[in-house]
Amino acid sequence: MVSGWGHAMNLVKTGLLLAAMTALFLAAGFLIGGEGGLVVALVLAVGMNAFAWWNSDKMVLRMHNAQPVSRATAPELWDMVAQLARRAELPMPAVYLIHSDQPNAFATGRDPQHAAVAVTTGILEVLPREELAGVIAHELAHIKNRDTLIMTVAATIAGAIGMLANFGFLFAHHRDDRQNPLGPLGALLVMILAPLAATLVQLAISRTREYAADRLGAQICGNPLWLAGALQRIEAVASDRVMPTAEHNPATAHLFIVNPLRMGGIDNLFRTHPATEHRVAALVELAREMGAGPGAGMRAAPRRPAEFGTRRGSVPEAGGAGRGGVWRQNPWNR
């Protein structure tokens, strides 16, 4: 379904970035605290990654007050996820709804057998059916590529480097700088620069994985222009709508299909996603390669929120979906 060469190159690039981040973590531990600092770094890395492996999905869903839905409460959404998961040859993930006006979505979970897809009520109100399929296919691509685990590990290591730097500041007066090859000034610089470098590497990993998920997601749903249209529409609407849970938990921003945070000025240096226009351009080029019809999935009229059975501030109810004419077609059920 996806180019083997392109997939391999993405894996190599991500692996190199993760190796660089791990090396940075261990080096920071050694430069801040000598051999003792290296041991502390190893213990932190093992402990935090073990915790993230088992609990990251539950933590992220809880941070955004995500509520589980079933086929009984959201039949159209649940069926769409199930159909696209079959096309992607994935187990059915858990489906969650986040009550937020901002259109957005993310996937989480340590592996395809323990995965979840979460969408906001805003995205159900804004996107036509085909574009929503493109978004869900993108999130399933993250699951298939194991990006949910990769990006969790990257975020955990970045957090551990920050914690290590804080420890270095806290216990600076107890440290024996004779064990530090850089001396006190060098250690101070490492404490300041290492977390910044870790954040930049983490963002590079996130941006790399977004391009790969866009490509595979477009192939899963069958039309790259559906996802391209969704990205453009989400970007246009999301900029005017704040997601409070994301603003309170900015470390989770890289999980969403479009950056949920308000950005401006120097903040653009720390973008968690590639520029939307670049992603759209890559998808349009992919559409040409696949022979997808021009504009397909981008000209569809937005459907009414009632077609998903959603009401602002409430989870979809049984029987509230499936009445819209556009929903009677199942292009993914092949």
Catalytic residues: 139
CB of 66 closer than 8 Å to CB of 121: no
CB of 34 closer than 8 Å to CB of 180: yes
Q: Where are the alpha helices (DSSP H) in the chain?
A: 4-63, 75-87, 121-126, 129-144, 147-170, 183-221, 224-238, 244-248, 276-290
DSSP 303-318: PPGGGBT-BTTB---T
For residue 32, give the nearest of 163, 217, 197, 208 by alpha carbon. Answer: 163
Tokens 């955990």 correspond to 156
- The kind and range of the H/E element at 107 are strand 105-109
Distance from C-alpha of 301 to C-alpha of 115, rounded to nearest angstrom = 31
β 105-109/94-98 pair status = unpaired
Phi and psi at 106, nearest 5°, equal -155, 165
The sign one gets for the Cα dihedral 141, 323, 121, 102 is positive
